[in-house]
Amino acid sequence: MSVRILIVDDHPLVLEGLKSLLADVDEVKVVGTATNAIDAIAFLKSNEVDIAFLDINLPDISGIDLCKKVKDQFPEVKTLALSTFNERAYVSRMIQNGASGYLIKSSGKEDILEAITQVQAGGYFMNVQFDQVTPAAAPKTVPFLTRREKEVLVLIAEGLTNPQIAEQLFISVTTVNSHRQNLLIKFEVSNTASLIKLAAGLGLI
The residue ranges that bind DNA (CB under 7 A) are 144, 146-149, 156, 160-163, 169, 171-175, 177-181, 184, 190-193, 195
The interface partner of residue 109, options being a second copy, DNA, none and the CB cut-off 5 to 8 Å by kind, is a second copy
* 183-202 footprint of a second copy as x/- string (CB under 8 A): ------xxxxxxxxx--xx-
Q: How far apart are CB 23 and a second copy at their closest, in Å?
A: 9
Query: Which listed range, 16-24, 89-97, 141-149, 170-178, lies at the site for a second copy (CB under 8 A)?
Result: 16-24
Q: Cβ of 117: how many Cβ atoms within 10 Å?
A: 14
Asked whether position 39 contacts a second copy by CB under 8 A, the answer is: no
Residues 55 and 82: their CA atoms lie apart, in Å, by: 5
Binding partner at 18 among DNA, a second copy, none, C-beta below 5 to 8 Å by kind: a second copy
Nearer to DNA by Cβ, of 31 and 138: the residue is 138
Nearest to 54 by CA among 20, 13, 105: 105
Closest to a second copy by CB, 59 vs 73, is 59
C-beta of residue 88 within 8 angstroms of C-beta of residue 130: yes
Residue 129 CA, distance from chain mean position: 17
* Residue 53 C-beta: closest distance to a second copy, Å: 11
Tell which one of 1, 159, 170, 174 touches a second copy (CB under 8 A): 159
Tell me if 96 contacts a second copy by CB under 8 A.
no
CB 80 within 8 A of CB 52: yes
Distances (CA, A) of 177 to 67, 68, 101, 156, 197: 32, 30, 38, 11, 19
Sequence-separated contacts (24+) of 129-135 with Cβ below 8 Å = 129/86, 130/86, 130/88, 131/86, 132/86, 134/88
